[in-house]
Amino acid sequence: MISRRKFFSNAVAAAGVAALATATGSMSRAESGGQPSEHPENAIGSDQTDQQEYPPGEPGKDYTPVITPNGSTLPFKLLRGTKIFHLIAEEVDHEFAPGLRAYCWGFNGQVHGPTIEAVEGDMVRIYVTNRLPENTSIHWHGLLVPSGMDGVAGLSQKNIEPGETYKYEFKLRQHGTYMYHSHSDDMTQIALGMMGMLVIHPRKPNGPRPDRDFVLMSSEWRIDVGTRRPNPIEMTDFNVLTFNARAFPGTAPLVAKYGDRVRIRFGNLSPMEHHPIHLHGYYWKVTEMDGLPVSELAQQPGNTVLVAVGQTRVVEFVADNPGDWAMHCHMTHHTMNQMGHNAPNLIGVRPGDLAKRVSALLPGYMTMGESGMGDMGEMGMPVPRNSIPMLGAQGKHGYIDMGGMFTIVKVRENLTNYDDPGWYENPPGTLAGLASNEELQRDLGYAPASHEMQKPVNNMPRDHMDMNHGG
Ligand SMILES: [Cu+2]
C-alpha cells in the first residue's frame, strides 16, 4: 500500500491539485487549513482513511442496499465479526430474453453472479466452490488485497480445480463500485458469463444516500442461431448484448419516484467492446470512476458515459422528469440481437419472392431491410427455434425496435412502490402526434401530401438513391 500511496502523493504534488484532495471531503477543514496537506495521500482515492475498527456494516443502518435489476445480492452470514460469503461457480441454463436461452457459466444458479455488497472496513471471507468442468479462480477487480488474494491463477494462487473450494479473506479498505470475474482461462470463462458486481459502501458517505442505487453490468456474447451455448472463441462479432445478462425486452425497467436521488453503477466486462451508455430525459454527473470518488468540482456532467472494458462508472441524478426514458448503449449494433450482421443491404430493393425461394433451400432465411430494419421484430416472422433476430417489444405507442443493451428508466409521481408502473400517461399537450392540415398550412404555408411517401423506392430522388435496383 505504501508504494501506491506514495504514487498518489507524488502525483498530487506534481499536479499541484491539493484543492482536489480537499474537495473529496475525506480530509477535515482543520486538517487541510486551505493549505496543501502534509498528507495528501489521506484524501485521495477511496482507501479507508481513519484506520478505525468498525463493526460489520448493516444494511439499512449503514447503507441503503443496491438493486440489481434481473439479478440479486449475494447473502452473507456474520461469524465472529467476519462476513461469510459463498460463491459456487457452475453451469447455468440462462434466459437472455423470452425466446433465447443458453448454457452459460455463472455463480449460484445465476448469470452473471449475484452482486457482492459490503461496507468499508468489513472483514470478508469468500468461499469459492468450483462446480465447472475445468479449473477456475476469482479475481476481485479493483480491490486492494494482498497479492495472494488477487485471484490470478498461476500467478497469485493455484487454480481451483473442479470440486475444490478455496477461501479468500481480506479486509475491505476501500469503498466504491468494483467487479469480480474469473481469472483462469479468462477468454472462455468471461465469454460464458463468469462475472459479477462488487459494491463497497463508504463508512462516511460524502453526500446524501441515494434513494435508488442500481447496478448494471454490460456484457456481450456470440450465440449462433441453432446453438445453445455462447461461443467463447468469437473475437469481434458479438450478437447478444446485455445489461445484467439480459437483452431487451428481457431487461427489467429501473423504476424511480419523482424526486428520488438515483445512482446507477455501470460495470463493463464484455470480452472486447466498450459501451457508451446513454440516458434520455436527463443529464447526470459521473461521481465515481473505477471505484474512486470524483470530487464534486470535477464530476463530469453528461448524458452518455463511456464504460470501457474493465471499467466501472457511477452516475447520479435527481429523478425530476417523469416519463418512460430509454437508456441504452449508443452503438446501434449493440441494441440489436442475433439478426445476422452480414446480411446484404437491401434498403431500396424490391426482393420479390426471393425470400420464399431461398428459404426452400435455407430454413430460416429471410430477406431483410427492404425499407429499413425496423419491422424485423414486429413482423412476427417465424424465426429459428431459440433465437431472437432483432426482437424488440410492443410499447404504449407501437413497436419499440430495440433489443440488446437497452432498458427503460421509469420515473413517476405518486408511486406507492417500485413495481413496474406500466407505461407513462403523457399529460395533455406533451405527446408528439400527427400534424393537422390546418397546422401545416398555418406554419409551413403548405401541407406535404401524404401519398408522396407511399412508394419510397420509385419516388426516391436520385440524390438520395443512386442504386438502380428493383427494375
Ligand atoms: Cu455497446
Q: Is the pLDDT of residue 362 over 60?
A: yes
Q: What's the 311 CA to ligand 1 centre distance in angstroms?
A: 13
- pLDDT tens-digit series, residues 164-178: 999 999 999 999 999
Tell how far the Cα of 124 is from the centroid of ligand 1, in angstroms. 33
Given a cut of 90, whether residue 246 has pLDDT beyond it is yes
Give the three-class secondary structure for 166: strand
From the list 206, 199, 207, 194, the residue with the least C-alpha distance to 94 is 194
Residues whose CB is less than 8 angstroms from the CB of residue 62 and which lie 6 or more positions away in sequence, other chains included: 119, 201, 203
- pLDDT classification of 357: cutoffs 50, 70, 90: confident
Spacing, Cα 405 to ligand 1 middle (Å): 7
Is the pLDDT reported for residue 13 higher than 70? no
Q: In the predicted model, what is the mean pLDDT of residues 282-291?
A: 98
Distance 220 CA to ligand 1 centre (A): 8
Residue 106 neighbours by CB distance under 10 Å:
23
pLDDT > 60? residue 460: no
Q: Mean per-residue pLDDT for 41-60?
A: 69
User: Which residues are in the CB-under-5-Å shell of ion ligand 1?
Assistant: 275, 329, 331, 334
Q: Find the 238 Cα to ligand 1 centroid distance in Å.
A: 10
Question: What is the helix, strand, coil percentage profile of the chain, to 5?
Answer: 15, 30, 55
Ligand 1 centre distance from Cα of residue 263 (Å): 20
Task: Kindly state the average pLDDT of the residues 113-117.
Answer: 98
Q: Are 272 and 226 in contact (CB under 8 A)?
A: no
Taking every pair of Cα atoms in the chain, the longest distance, rounded to a whole number of angstroms, is 81
pLDDT in tens, 319-344: 999 999 999 999 988 988 776 555 56
Q: What grid cell was written down for 17?
A: 491539485
Cα 364 to its chain centre, rounded Å, is 31
For ligand 1, the distance from its centroid to the CA atom of residue 366, given in whole angstroms, is 26
| 416 contacts 257 by C-beta, under 8 angstroms | no
How far is Cα 181 from Cα 112, in angstroms, rounded to an integer? 10
pLDDT of 70 over the 50 cut: yes
pLDDT band at 42 (very low <50, low <70, confident <90, very high): very low
pLDDT tops 80 at residue 371: no
- Is the confidence at residue 39, as pLDDT, over 70? no
Cα of 241 vs centre of ligand 1, distance in Å, is 7
Cα of 407 to ligand 1 centre, how many Å?
A: 13
Distance in angstroms (rounded) separating the CA atoms of residues 352 and 357:
10
Q: What is the mean pLDDT of the chain?
A: 84
Q: What residue type is assigned to position 348 of the chain?
A: G
Give me the pLDDT at residue 344, please. 61
Range 125-136 average pLDDT: 98
Give CA–CA dist 200/404, Å, rounded.
28
Closest among 142, 292, 315 to 213, alpha carbons compared: 315
Question: What's the pLDDT score for residue 245?
Answer: 98
Residue 18: pLDDT over 90: no
Distance from the alpha carbon of residue 243 to the mean position of ligand 1, in angstroms: 10
**Ligand 1 midpoint to CA 273 (Å):** 7
In our burial notation (b when 16+ CB lie closer than 10 A, e otherwise), range 309-346 reads bebbbbbbbbbeebbbbbbbbebeebbbbbbeeeeeeb
In this prediction, residue 384 carries a pLDDT of: 74
**In the predicted structure, residue 370 carries a pLDDT above the cut 70:** no
> How far apart are alpha carbons 103 and 94 in whole angstroms?
6
Q: What percent of the chain has pLDDT over 70?
A: 77
CA of 334 to the centre of ligand 1 (A): 5
| CB neighbours of residue 125 within 10 Å | 15
Cα–ligand 1 centroid distance for 400 (angstroms): 18
Ligand 1 centroid distance, CA of 341 (Å): 15
What is the pLDDT, as a whole number, of residue 84? 98
The answer to whether the CB of 81 falls within 8 A of the CB of 125 is no
Please tell me what DSSP assigns to residue 332: G
Mean pLDDT calculated for residue range 55-81: 96
Q: How confident is the model at residue 458 (pLDDT cuts 50, 70, 90)?
A: very low
How confident is residue 52, by pLDDT bands cut at 50, 70 and 90?
A: confident
Ligand 1 centroid to 470 CA: how many Å?
Answer: 35
pLDDT at 465: 31
What is the whole-number distance in angstroms between the Cα of residue 103 and the centre of ligand 1?
Answer: 23
Q: How remote is the CA of residue 199 from the centroid of ligand 1, in Å?
A: 23
Cα–ligand 1 centroid distance for 186 (angstroms): 20
The region of weakest confidence among 10-24, 69-83, 125-139 is 10-24
Whether the pLDDT of residue 377 is over 60: the answer is no
Rounded average pLDDT over 374-381: 54
CA atoms within 13 A on the CB side of 32: 20
Q: Strands (DSSP E) along 269-311, which ranges?
A: 275-279, 284-289, 292-293, 301-302, 304-307
* pLDDT of 150 above 60: yes
Dist. CA 373 → ligand 1 center (Å): 19
Q: How far is the CA of 270 from the centre of ligand 1 (A)?
A: 9
Taking the model in full, what pTM does it have? 0.81
For residue 12, give Cα distances in angstroms to 45, 49, 151, 285, 295: 11, 17, 30, 23, 14
Q: pLDDT class for 17, splitting at 50, 70, 90?
A: very low
The more confidently predicted of residues 267 and 401 is 267
On the CB side of 221, how many CA atoms lie within 13 Å of its CA? 36
Look-up of cell digits 461496507: 119
Ligand 1 center to 329 CA (angstroms): 5
CA of 330 to the centre of ligand 1 (A): 6
pLDDT of residue 292: 96
- CA 76 to centroid of ligand 1, rounded, Å: 33
Distance from Cα 138 to the centre of ligand 1, integer Å: 25
Q: How confident is residue 186, by pLDDT bands cut at 50, 70 and 90?
A: very high
pLDDT digits (tens, 9 = 90+) for 389-440: 766 889 999 989 889 999 999 999 999 999 999 999 999 999 999 999 999 9
